[in-house]
Chain A
Amino acid sequence: MSTKWSPQEVIHRDYNNHPPAYAPGYKTSVLRSPRNALISLQNSLSEITGPVFSQQDIGPLDNDLILNYAKDGLPIGERIIVHGYVRDGFGRPLKNTLVEVWQANAGGRYRHKKDQYLAPIDPNFGGCGRVMTDENGYYFFRTIKPGPYPWRNQVSDWRPSHIHFSIFGEAFAQRLITQMYFEGDPLIKQCPIVQAINNDDAVRTLIAELDTHAAVPLDCLAYRFDLVLRGQRATLFENRTQGAAR
């Protein structure tokens, strides 16, 4: 992070772009959603700051899910690159920010002791990775396209293929976890987790587009997925946040 970064308040969150806490079609949300309204805070130093990470925190193969757990061969499945830019709401690149991802393997099975789905584990696929964005907010990683999988919501519910994303930004108030879906997947329209978002434009922010220009010929395809965190604004007339850099 640049030492010249000047702190600004984080724009209030537009909840129309997000799923509500209580979304009964997604059954687990029923007992895990607060009944009281959130209490809105004006930002203090506590919210406009957040943890800083560096390349030293991660390893050189961490963004290559094809190789980072390969034991005696390559994982099975569609080889893909996922890449894009992380920006704030004003289009400014979010530099040197940590992006973490996790996913199922090509058959929709997670390497997790709680996943009992009968599709097999791939001995050469772990399913997690992480990467720091560069000076332009750009990130990329390489992986196997995850398969859809069934889950206990309604008994016939299946998740679309997806990759989970976790992003930090510069302020703890920007912290976000989301899921990336793949262009054209017919399960997207039927998924109670996706459809908890009551806004088609917001759903579209989660769908990665096939990007043949970034594909590596005879090797792997590519998907483009850009992320936007909340913008940070300069305070014009009111006092700047106390204790913050000028």
Chain B
Amino acid sequence: MKDYLPETASQTAGPYVHIGLAPDAAGFHIFEKNFGPTLVNSHTPGERIAIEGRVFDGSGTPVRDVLIEIWQANAEGRYNHVADRQEGKSLDADFRGWGRACSNFDTGVWRFDTIKPGQAVGRDGRMMAPHVNLWIVARGINIGLNTRMYFSDEQEANAIDPVLNLIEWEVRRQTLIGHKETRSGETVYHFDIYLQGEKETVFFDV
């Protein structure tokens, strides 16, 4: 351990995180190319979905200055990264698999437009249920919170998912399920995140 460099300490992203990571949301235009909440283009293979929700604090109040990033596999369950060498799954070079969204300053609602990910192999060769990784930062959050969203219409896969099954409190597993809704033909998974309290979402040390 002697020669090991300690990780740089985390600090909160603060209330003005949008300036750096989403300047248009802060109220000014500066970069020609911006990162945003849309992961797909018209050619992306896969089922179009939206993921939408709010983040709540320990009093039940929506957190209106939160920034969320998601990381996910493509429709075949492959990550767009050199480390992923799963066999028989094609790569869509246009699908980065990552996006960034800000909550609305008034309503607290955030939303991603993406595709439903396929299943990727987990540890010990067990398949993981389709899921999206989320990373949440905001004022008052000293170190980014990691969680996962699973899909309510994947009950069979969820039942044998190696990560969901690590959570010994079965009641808490439900906090990671995004609920499928259909709104004028559009598929939306509703996923609210509770930072603290009775309905507290499961957060992972990854």
A-side residues, CB < 8 A to B, are 1-3, 5-7, 10, 12-14, 17-21, 23, 26, 28-36, 38-52, 57-59, 62, 68-69, 87-91, 100-103, 110-115, 126-130, 164, 166, 170-173, 175-179, 193-194, 196-197, 199, 201-203, 205-206, 227-231, 239, 241-246
Q: How far is the CB of B206 from chain A (nearest CB, A)?
A: 5
Interface centre among B63, B79, B97 (most CB of A within 10 A): B79
With A33-B196, A177-B137: A128-B19 Cβ-Cβ less than 8 Å: yes
Type the 1/0 row for B150-175, where 1 means its CB is closer than 8 Å to any CB of A: 00000000000011001100001000
Closest to A175 in B: B135
Contact residues in B for A3 (Cβ distance below 8 Å)? 82
Contact B20 A166 (CB under 8 A): yes
A-B contact list, 7 entries, CB within 8 Å: A7-B82, A13-B205, A32-B141, A114-B16, A166-B21, A173-B206, A228-B8
Interface centre among B17, B144, B196, B200 (most CB of A within 10 A): B196
Contact B15 A31 (CB under 8 A): no
B123 interface hit (Cβ, 8 Å): yes
With A14-B6, A32-B195, A201-B6: A164-B13 Cβ-Cβ less than 8 Å: yes
Closest to A129 in B: B20
**A41 contacts which of B63, B84, B206 (Cβ < 8 Å)?**
B206
Closest to A43 in B: B206
Closest to B20 in A: A102
Type the 1/0 row for B71-90, where 1 means its CB is closer than 8 Å to any CB of A: 10100000111111110000
Contact residues in A for B172 (Cβ distance below 8 Å)? 36
**B10 contacts which of A12, A59, A177 (Cβ < 8 Å)?**
A177
Contact residues in B for A42 (Cβ distance below 8 Å)? 123
Type the 1/0 row for B98-134, where 1 means its CB is closer than 8 Å to any CB of A: 1000000100000000000000111111001001010
**B30 contacts which of A43, A69, A112, A239 (Cβ < 8 Å)?**
A69
B197 interface hit (Cβ, 8 Å): yes
Interface contacts beyond A46-B148, A242-B125: sample of 8 additional A-B pairs, CB < 8 Å, sorted by A: A5-B83, A7-B82, A14-B6, A26-B142, A29-B141, A41-B163, A42-B123, A231-B5
With A45-B79, A111-B19, A178-B9: A19-B204 Cβ-Cβ less than 8 Å: no
- Cα A103 to Cα B19 in complex, Å, equals 8
Contact A128 B23 (CB under 8 A): yes
- Cα A150 to Cα B18 in complex, Å, equals 19
**A35 contacts which of B69, B128, B139, B197 (Cβ < 8 Å)?**
B197
With A21-B142, A46-B128, A202-B9: A41-B20 Cβ-Cβ less than 8 Å: no
**A102 contacts which of B17, B133, B203 (Cβ < 8 Å)?**
B17
Q: How far is the CB of A233 from chain B (nearest CB, A)?
A: 10
**A34 contacts which of B61, B71, B128, B196 (Cβ < 8 Å)?**
B196
Closest to A59 in B: B32
